[in-house]
Amino acid sequence: MARNANWQNLSDGDLLERLDEAKEEVFKLRFQIITGRLDNNARLKQAKKEVARAMTELRLREIQAAETQAQMQEATDA
Protein backbone atom coordinates (compact mmCIF):
# COMPACT_ATOMS: atom_id res chain seq x y z
CA MET A 1 0.00 0.00 0.00
CA ALA A 2 2.88 2.37 0.62
CA ARG A 3 3.83 2.28 -3.05
CA ASN A 4 0.32 3.20 -4.13
CA ALA A 5 0.19 6.06 -1.64
CA ASN A 6 3.43 7.39 -3.07
CA TRP A 7 1.95 7.59 -6.58
CA GLN A 8 -1.33 9.01 -5.29
CA ASN A 9 0.41 11.86 -3.46
CA LEU A 10 2.08 13.18 -6.60
CA SER A 11 0.62 16.14 -8.42
CA ASP A 12 -0.46 15.68 -12.03
CA GLY A 13 2.62 17.49 -13.30
CA ASP A 14 4.98 15.40 -11.17
CA LEU A 15 3.22 12.24 -12.25
CA LEU A 16 3.57 13.13 -15.92
CA GLU A 17 7.23 13.95 -15.36
CA ARG A 18 7.86 10.58 -13.68
CA LEU A 19 6.03 8.87 -16.54
CA ASP A 20 8.24 10.58 -19.11
CA GLU A 21 11.38 9.68 -17.15
CA ALA A 22 10.30 6.04 -16.84
CA LYS A 23 9.51 5.79 -20.56
CA GLU A 24 12.89 7.27 -21.40
CA GLU A 25 14.59 4.81 -19.07
CA VAL A 26 12.78 1.87 -20.71
CA PHE A 27 13.96 3.11 -24.10
CA LYS A 28 17.56 3.41 -22.90
CA LEU A 29 17.47 -0.01 -21.23
CA ARG A 30 16.16 -1.64 -24.40
CA PHE A 31 18.98 -0.02 -26.34
CA GLN A 32 21.48 -1.34 -23.79
CA ILE A 33 20.08 -4.86 -24.15
CA ILE A 34 20.51 -4.70 -27.92
CA THR A 35 24.10 -3.51 -27.61
CA GLY A 36 24.85 -6.04 -24.88
CA ARG A 37 25.80 -3.46 -22.26
CA LEU A 38 22.97 -4.05 -19.78
CA ASP A 39 24.19 -5.73 -16.60
CA ASN A 40 20.93 -5.82 -14.65
CA ASN A 41 18.17 -7.32 -16.80
CA ALA A 42 15.67 -7.02 -13.94
CA ARG A 43 15.87 -3.23 -14.15
CA LEU A 44 13.95 -3.27 -17.44
CA LYS A 45 11.05 -5.07 -15.76
CA GLN A 46 11.08 -2.56 -12.90
CA ALA A 47 11.08 0.38 -15.30
CA LYS A 48 8.14 -1.08 -17.23
CA LYS A 49 6.23 -1.45 -13.97
CA GLU A 50 6.91 2.19 -13.14
CA VAL A 51 5.45 3.19 -16.50
CA ALA A 52 2.38 1.04 -15.85
CA ARG A 53 1.89 2.45 -12.34
CA ALA A 54 2.08 6.02 -13.56
CA MET A 55 -0.31 5.35 -16.43
CA THR A 56 -2.73 3.57 -14.09
CA GLU A 57 -2.75 6.47 -11.66
CA LEU A 58 -3.32 8.95 -14.49
CA ARG A 59 -6.21 6.86 -15.79
CA LEU A 60 -7.77 6.63 -12.31
CA ARG A 61 -7.61 10.41 -12.01
CA GLU A 62 -9.17 10.78 -15.44
CA ILE A 63 -12.05 8.48 -14.47
CA GLN A 64 -12.60 10.32 -11.18
CA ALA A 65 -12.69 13.67 -12.99
CA ALA A 66 -15.23 12.34 -15.50
CA GLU A 67 -17.41 10.94 -12.72
CA THR A 68 -17.26 14.24 -10.84
CA GLN A 69 -18.19 16.14 -13.99
CA ALA A 70 -21.12 13.78 -14.62
CA GLN A 71 -22.37 14.28 -11.08
CA MET A 72 -22.10 18.04 -11.46
CA GLN A 73 -24.03 17.82 -14.73
CA GLU A 74 -26.77 15.75 -13.09
CA ALA A 75 -27.02 18.25 -10.25
CA THR A 76 -27.45 21.16 -12.64
CA ASP A 77 -29.97 19.28 -14.78
CA ALA A 78 -32.16 18.33 -11.81
pLDDT at 1: 39
Q: Is residue 35 helix, strand or coil? A: helix
Q: Please state, as a whole number, how many other Cβ atoms lie within 10 Å of the Cβ of residue 68.
A: 10
Residue of 44, 23, 48 whose CA lies nearest to 32: 44
Q: Output the pTM of the full model.
A: 0.83
Distance CA 25, CA 27 (A): 5
Per-position pLDDT tens, the chain of length 78: 355 678 889 999 999 999 999 999 999 999 999 999 988 999 999 999 999 999 999 999 999 999 999 999 988 887
